[in-house]
Copies of this chain bind each other. A is one copy, B any other.
Amino acid sequence: MREATLRDVARLAGVSPRTVSNVVNGYAPVTEATRAKVEKAIAELDYRPNVVARNLARGRSGQIAVVVPYLDTPYFSELLQGIIPRARAGGYNVLVDQTDGDPEHERELIRRRARGFAFDGLIFSPLGLAQRDLADADPTLPLVVLGERSAAGSFDHVGIDDVAASREATAHLISLGRRRIAAIGDQPYPTGEAAQLRTTGFRQAHLDAALEVDEALVIGTPRFNRADGAGAMRRLLNRSDPPDAVFCYSDLVALGALHAALERGVRVPEDVALIGYDDIEEGRYSNPTISTVSPDKEAIAATAVERLLMRIGLGRGTEGVAGVEVRAAHRLVARESTLGRAAR
């Protein structure tokens, strides 16, 4: 049996489609009597508005897209979890996609709203894509980029102060008396813009303490995942002069590094202290627990959605609006991987 349409309801209720539409959307004032009639007809026919038709008529899709490099990265799933309910509260459904960090996929997504992927706005966490590539993005697309801004543009940025946070994390290691500090996660320009900010903070902390950075201890990794963290750590431990502390550019990297250390019988933090970045739940349950930089994810999710909906609300007028950079709060969370069991 065919789905009931608004027309069917109108016919049954003996009113015009216009009136039904008014009732359904709570628009113009409708007589109580009329409303009752219409609602009765709606119930009788089990009528549900066709969203696709509505969107076509309204000239919007009622959806936003959230695109991240990897969905199985806890940081992103935690963020997504914060974004979805807020978007729904704002009347939007959420399309999700991952790019695997593929620059082509990312570019395609931005340059021209990807084929067949209909959305009114986009929350985007670029990875393989240099931020300046966003510059020639479709300027009519409401866009919020996650991560610190590295280039101006007509879109918004939401992120924490990576340089400051990294500096604090490194300073924490230094304050514990560590002197040979490694960094795992550096990435070359232009892909690794976020990574480079962290490296900058790492260097600043050394400067602050009048310490030299041993360049051999700055290890690049293609991804911020457990496997790469473990691999980098193994290389560090193979050295004749291994580090006594490591600043990892993500908790996943730190967890991988931890695994590699314990596997070799290297004690954490006695032999080597470890600090991560992101404050994912996993780091609160690992053994030892992982010290980390904790970004205010709730604020990031909330701000990203808020800014995006605002831009969507502006309509095509978005084009003129300059990009805003929003800095969410962060804090250092010291746990066992730097303080030791004594922390308990």
Contact = CB atoms under 8 A, between A and B. Distances in A.
Given A46-B112, A93-B117, A116-B62, A259 B287 contact: yes
A171 interface: no
Contact of A94 (B70, B77, B97): B97
Contact of A287 (B71, B74, B80, B262): B262
A337 to B, nearest CB: 11
A93 to B, nearest CB: 6
Contact of A51 (B70, B77, B116): B116
A207 interface: no
Interface string A86-122: 0010010111111000000000000011011110000
Contact of A226 (B62, B97, B230, B281): B281
Contacts of A72: 74, 77-78, 80-81, 281
A161 B51 CA distance: 38
Nearest to A51: B118
A24 B226 CA distance: 44
Given A52-B56, A282-B282, A287-B262, A93 B81 contact: no
B98 A116 contact: no
A258 interface: yes
Contacts of A61: 51-52
Counted per complex, copies of this chain come to 2
Interface residues of A, number: 51
Contacts of A97: 84, 88, 93-94
A39 to B, nearest CB: 15
Contacts of A98: 81, 84-85
A175 B263 CA distance: 26
B285 A230 contact: yes
A138 to B, nearest CB: 10
B95 A63 contact: yes
B96 A94 contact: yes
A55 interface: yes
Interface in A28-87: 46, 48-53, 55-56, 61-63, 70-72, 74, 77-78, 80-81, 84-85
Interface in A252-266: 255-256, 258-259, 262-263
Contact of A112 (B48, B93, B256, B259): B48
A286 B255 CA distance: 8
B77 A93 contact: no
Contact of A258 (B95, B255, B287): B287
A107 to B, nearest CB: 15
A5 to B, nearest CB: 12
B115 A48 contact: yes
A51 to B, nearest CB: 4
Contacts of A258: 285, 287
A79 to B, nearest CB: 9
20 contacts: A51-B116, A52-B52, A71-B77, A71-B80, A72-B74, A74-B74, A74-B77, A84-B97, A91-B116, A93-B116, A93-B118, A96-B96, A255-B285, A256-B285, A258-B285, A258-B287, A259-B286, A262-B287, A263-B344, A286-B286
Given A53-B56, A91-B116, 6 more contacts: A52-B52, A71-B84, A72-B281, A94-B95, A226-B284, A256-B285
